Amino acid sequence: MTTPDATAAENATAQAHSQTNTLVAKLWNYCNVLRDNGLSTIEYVEQLSYLLFLKMADELSDDPFNPKSIVPEGFDWPSLASKKGAALEVHYRNILQELAAKPGTTLGTIFAKAQNRITEPALLEKLVVDLIGNQDWTIDGTDLKGDAYEGLLAKGAEDTKTGAGQYFTPRPLIDAIVDVVQPRPDDTIADPACGTGGFLIAAHSYIRKHHMRDLSHEQRIALSEGKGMIFGNELVTGTARLAAMNMLLHGIGDSDGPSLIDVGDALAEKPKRHASLVLANPPFGRKSAITVIGTDGTAEKEEISYARDDFRATTTNKQLNFLQHIMSLLAIDGHAAVVLPDNVLFEGGAGEKIRTRLLQDFDLHTMLRLPTGIFYAGGVKANVLFFDKKTPRADGRPHTSKLWVYDFRTGLHFTLKQRQLRRADLEEFVQAYKPGEPLDERVESERFKAFDYDTLIARDKVNLDISWMKDPALEDADSLLAPEVIAQEIVQDLQAALDDFKAIALALGGEVTDEGPAAELTP
């Protein structure tokens, strides 16, 4: 029976979603104005973000219940809104330059290398006065404006031609992952490839929702500032900017305090600090910009190389290197949930070495096989690996006893437009995972199977690409999919197969060139 309180909560949630969707639609209309001015998706989302951030920051400073000064006076929204024409454009450039001159702070990360690409004063004035300036963005609190901003990032990610989607993990998947790992207030949470900050924001939100009442005043301040408990790394300056904005607008961090997002290549050096919880979706694409030389002493041909003596295997496979990095980043007894493509599960050579170590020194207890059609990068077949770091045993016994595999791929079909992934689609997996319960409480089902260590280590090349289900659409004529869905899945399967063949060719010592559709495999 639904209680009045539950009904009221559901109605409030529905109203918030409606308001968020309205704000997202309005923001996207503003983007159309910028797109007509010749900017790309990333550029117009970024340009709109500068102005939107300044306006939201101004509204936060006027909050009667929790006033928060974010932007210095004279370089804030009122100073911008008071000017017109060419003077407005000049002052806006000065604001971007001044706010960027605080390296190491959140504001410095947000405005690092910021440039005004809205070169027409009339267009800039229209955005400042008529569009953004006429909307009160924070009347319904931090979560609404933060969610609206994240909705703008999601819309931007739909533009696959510019590669914007590679920085964005679908929020329903993030929420399901966070719900099963259950972040705690005493966790140190990291994402070494944070993109626009989705994992870090979701983990922070989970702690606020489930633990806020139990926290002291000092702990609540620490949670809000994120100091010492949340940190991320992002290679691309523009994306790190979006992550810092996204987090600050969700109430995480301090504008004048140290930035929670480090900008640079996370793989370039050993972690300077460890995390008890790592959540990540490393970027897709096989080759790193640089080669990592592991303790095996070998090096693969690449223009630049560096040594990581904490890595056991040398490879230019970016996802395998990120997996090794996360294995080093984790503290003892720490937990990780990492989204990785299929090639990480079966690739030989370095892949086999890394998987063997993962089973031996870590407890690789759960794997979620994901369907195609949920990522903006087409043709991606991916999985979520859940594992815990353990102290190596003196007797050499492996820490992995059973790997539970949940097949969320076979017979399930999603698209980015007609049938998008929802959090409810993953509820069966969350329930089967039994968050917070001992692994021996789990129950096998049609989609959820357990495989013991001896079975896994005996597989050829320790191949963890495990499947057992058959797609009913291939056997039952009455369940045929719509032609456009079939065509899309064929394209995705072909792209995934091509990526797999490239990985095999490289593992055999070949060289793959990606120039055009007729990429050559050179022996």
Per-residue pLDDT, averaged over 68-91, amounts to 90
Q: What are phi and psi of 234, to 5 degrees?
A: -145, 130
- The rounded distance, in Å, linking the Cα atoms of 383 and 173 is 11
Q: How far is CA 397 from the centre of its chain?
A: 34
Residue 488 has pLDDT above 90, yes or no: no
Per-residue pLDDT, averaged over 276-301, amounts to 65
Does a structural domain hold residue 229? Answer: yes
pLDDT bracket for residue 383 (50, 70, 90): very high
Q: Are residues 383 and 243 located together in one domain of the fold?
A: yes
Residue pair 168/195 in contact by the 8 Å Cβ criterion? yes
Q: Are residues 220 and 348 located together in one domain of the fold?
A: yes
CATH of the domain at 269: 3.40.50.150
If one counts every other C-beta atom within 10 angstroms of the C-beta of residue 250, the result is 22
Does a structural domain hold residue 36? Answer: yes
Residue type, 288: S
Q: Which of 443, 472, 501 is the last residue of a domain?
A: 472
| Token output for 93 | 């450039």
Q: Are residues 114 and 242 located together in one domain of the fold?
A: no
3-state secondary structure 56-85: HHHHHHCCCCCCCCCCCCCCCHHHHHCCCH
Least confident window among 163-167, 245-249, 390-394, 414-418: 163-167
Does a structural domain hold residue 34? Answer: yes
pLDDT bracket for residue 502 (50, 70, 90): low
Does a structural domain hold residue 484? Answer: no
Least confident window among 108-117, 223-232, 248-257, 470-479: 470-479
At 462 the three-state DSSP class reads helix
The DSSP line for 345-360 is HH--THHHHHHHHHHH
Residue 283 has pLDDT above 60, yes or no: yes
Per-residue pLDDT, averaged over 227-240, amounts to 87
| Token output for 200 | 């870090």
Residue type, 473: A
Higher-pLDDT residue of 477, 52: 52
**Which alpha helices (H) appear in 350-467, and where do they start and end?**
350-361, 427-433, 453-458
pLDDT at 20: 67
- The rounded distance, in Å, linking the Cα atoms of 375 and 343 is 16
| Angle, in degrees to the nearest 10, between helices 41-61 and 237-249 | 30
pLDDT in tens, 5-31: 545 545 555 565 666 677 677 767 766
Q: Are residues 283 and 316 located together in one domain of the fold?
A: yes
Residue 303 has pLDDT above 80, yes or no: no
Does a structural domain hold residue 495? Answer: no
Q: What are phi and psi of 451, to 5 degrees?
A: -130, 125
CATH of the domain at 57: 1.20.1260.30
Q: What angle do CA 446, 282, 180 make, to 5 degrees?
A: 40
Q: Are residues 318 and 371 located together in one domain of the fold?
A: yes
Residue 82, Cβ density class (10 Å: 0-12 exposed, 13-18 middle, ≥19 buried): exposed
Q: Are residues 94 and 183 located together in one domain of the fold?
A: no
| Token output for 269 | 């050096």
pLDDT bracket for residue 380 (50, 70, 90): confident
pLDDT at 410: 93
| Token output for 56 | 């939201």
Number of domains observed in the structure of the chain: 2
- The rounded distance, in Å, linking the Cα atoms of 95 and 76 is 8
- The rounded distance, in Å, linking the Cα atoms of 377 and 158 is 9
Q: Are residues 226 and 310 located together in one domain of the fold?
A: yes
Q: Are residues 264 and 387 located together in one domain of the fold?
A: yes
Q: Are residues 112 and 216 located together in one domain of the fold?
A: no
Residue 388 has pLDDT above 50, yes or no: yes
3-state secondary structure 250-295: CCCCCCCCECCEEECCHHHCCCCCCEEEEEECCCCCCEEEEEEECC
Q: Are residues 293 and 433 located together in one domain of the fold?
A: yes
Residue 116 has pLDDT above 60, yes or no: yes
Per-residue pLDDT, averaged over 471-494, amounts to 58
Average pLDDT, the chain: 80
Does a structural domain hold residue 397? Answer: yes
Q: Which domain holds residue 48?
A: 15-149
pLDDT at 226: 78
pLDDT bracket for residue 386 (50, 70, 90): very high
DSSP-assigned letter for residue 423: G
pLDDT in tens, 158-186: 655 544 455 578 889 999 999 999 999 99
pLDDT in tens, 420-476: 899 999 999 999 999 999 999 999 999 999 999 999 999 999 999 999 998 765 555
Does a structural domain hold residue 100? Answer: yes
- The rounded distance, in Å, linking the Cα atoms of 298 and 296 is 6
pLDDT bracket for residue 113 (50, 70, 90): confident
Pairing verdict, β 382-389 and 330-341: antiparallel
Q: Are residues 87 and 202 located together in one domain of the fold?
A: no
pTM: 0.80
Which percentage of the chain shows pLDDT scores above 90? Answer: 41
Q: Are residues 434 and 463 located together in one domain of the fold?
A: yes
Residue pair 520/513 in contact by the 8 Å Cβ criterion? yes
| Token output for 463 | 């191949």
pLDDT at 483: 64
Residue 497 has pLDDT above 70, yes or no: no
pLDDT bracket for residue 232 (50, 70, 90): very high
pLDDT in tens, 122-152: 889 988 988 788 877 765 444 455 666 667 6
